[in-house]
Amino acid sequence: MKIFKQFNTSGNCFICNTNENKPCVLIPKDNTEDDGIEEAEQVHIDCINLRYNPEINFFYQKVSNKWKTKFKSLNQPLKKLLIKL
């Protein structure tokens, strides 16, 4: 994963919801790949706080409670994964 020294201040980090100019990475978004190119979101390095679940061999981070309101529109495999978490 490439680390960028500058944050593109035209958007916000989806974890802290600010556009502070700090080192960041691009996180690819599920279900956006088209011809080898996919959409990504910027996240500050210091906002990343990953956890590892060895039972399902999966890295994750709870971002906020916002996902609950979007839960109804998620695809079925992702719903099943989130229910397990």
Contacts with Zn ion by CB under 5 A lie at: 13, 15-16, 44, 47
> Could you report how far apart the first and last alpha carbons of the chain are, in Å?
24
Kindly tell me which of 14 and 74 has the beta carbon lying closer to Zn ion. 14
Least Å distance, CB 49 to Zn ion, is: 11
CB closer to Zn ion, 63 vs 82: 63
Tokens standing for residue 23: 């080192």
Who's near 69: CB < 8 A, 6+ residues apart?
A: none
* Beta carbon nearer to Zn ion, 45 or 82: 45
